[in-house]
Amino acid sequence: MKTSIEIKKLLLGLVLVFCSNIANAGEYQYWDDLDENSKSEIIKSIDVDKNIMKLYLHEMKISHNDTLEAIIDTLCSSTEGNKKMLHFYVLNEIVSTADEVVAYILGEYCIKYVNENTDYALEYFSKHQDVANKYAEIIADELHRTLCDTNLSQYEQILLNSAKSECAKEYLPVFFKEVKRVLSKYAKIPAFDCFNE
């Protein structure tokens, strides 16, 4: 049972996050934008998968094992609010540090996440080019493996139709330019001419 001091701390944390959200109205809120106190209060107020928490606290390294796909699947599952912020932050850390084996597994999940959270992801990418480039690389590798007989322009159009915010719409061509740059490496291999436009 929580003491009244713990309840007051929790309420204060929630008020801080609420005020922060009002201050950033019209923009998405990301975990990186929060101060440490707000992060701590949010973590106390939401149910976080134990493996995701271990990754967040750097108590566990991501590697190809039995739990990897379950963790990534959980991170990419539809969530909202504070949990979405935390999951996206941890997913970004995994993407940013992925070796070739982990990146191979991440491909379909990165495509799914960007497809289902187009505005949220692209607005973040517009401010964090290093993360955007890593997603573009992983997505391009996945497209190379799976969509050789599908028109890349169709995939781009799907994202363009999903993008609702002006920021996402403006950033999408930049993001796809990087995806195409990575794909162009494969175009130099005769067996992969399907990506030449």
pLDDT score, position 6:
55
Residue 144 to residue 126: CA distance in whole angstroms = 24
Task: Report whether pLDDT(13) > 60.
Answer: no
As a whole-number percent, the residues of the chain with pLDDT over 90 amount to 65
Q: Worst-scoring range by mean pLDDT, 115-119, 125-129, 151-155, 162-166? A: 151-155
pLDDT band at 26 (very low <50, low <70, confident <90, very high): very low
Q: Which amino acid, one-letter code, is at 35?
A: D
- Is 24 a residue whose pLDDT tops 70? no
* pLDDT cut 70: percent of the chain above it: 79
**Backbone φ and ψ of 25, nearest 5°:** -55, 140
Tens of pLDDT, residue by residue over 144-186, are 888 654 567 778 888 999 999 999 999 999 999 999 999 888 7
Q: Using one digit for the tens of pLDDT, what is the confidence trace for 55-95?
A: 999 999 887 777 889 999 999 998 899 999 999 999 999 99
Exposure b/e, 104-140, CB count within 10 A at least 16 = b: ebbbbbbbebbeebbbbbbbbbbebeebbbbbbbbbb
Cα(71)–Cα(80) distance, integer angstroms: 17
15 has a pLDDT exceeding 50 = no
- pLDDT at position 64 is 74
DSSP 8-class letter at 65: S
Q: Which two tokens stand for residue 129?
A: 């080019």
CA dist., res. 169 & res. 119, Å (int): 8
pLDDT value at residue 22: 36
pTM comes to 0.80
Strands (E), 28-135: none
